[in-house]
Amino acid sequence: GASERTFIMVKPDGVQRGLVGEVLRRFEQRGYKLVALKMIHPPRALLESHYEEHKGKKFYDPLLAYIGSGPVVAMVWEGLNVITVGRKMLGATDPAKSDPGTLRGDYGIVTGRNIVHGSDSESAAKREIDLWFRPDEVSNWVHTAERWIYE
C-alpha cells in the first residue's frame, strides 16, 4: 500500500560528488514521503550486517572498504510501490547497464562506485530500516500533498 517503506543510502562517492541533493530531489519530487534521514560514517559491524548476503564473494572486501570509507546519507522513503520504483530510479547495479534517466545511469560508470543503495525486497527493506534507524528516528508525519499525488 501507500505506507510501503524502503531504505535508500547515498554512498560515500555520492556524498563526495555532491549528489545528496539530487537523490533527495528525485524521490521528493516524485511524490514520495521522506520519513527518516541521517549522515553516518558507518562502522564495520554495521556494514557486515547490511551486506551479509554478499559475505564470501570476491567483491565483498572492496565493497566494505568503499562503503566504510566515509560518511553516507541514509534515508527511509514511504509511498506506493516505493521499493520497486525506487530500484528503477536507481538503475541496474552496474551503471554501464543502467538506463539514462536513472541515478546510476546518469552519474555512474562502474559497479564499484555506483552512488546509491536501495532495498531490493519487502524483507530487505524491513531488515535494513531496522538496522540503520531506531524507531524514534522514523517520523510518521502527514504529507498534506498526498491527495494531489494519490487519487
Per CB under 6 A, 50 contacts ligand DAT: no
Distances (CA, A) of 40 to 59, 74, 93, 122: 23, 7, 23, 24
**93 among annotated binding-site residues:** yes
Distance of closest approach, residue 67 Cβ to ligand DAT, in angstroms:
8
**Enclosing H/E stretch for 8:** strand 5-10
CB-count burial class (<10 Å; 0-12, 13-18, 19+) for 29: exposed
**11 among annotated binding-site residues:** yes
Q: Which stretch binds ligand DAT (CB under 6 A): 25-33, 95-103, 106-114, 131-139?
A: 106-114
Residue 111's binding partner among Mg ion, ligand DAT, none (Cβ under 5 to 8 angstroms by kind) is ligand DAT
The residues that are catalytic are: 117
The binding site for Mg ion (CB under 5 A) comprises: 120
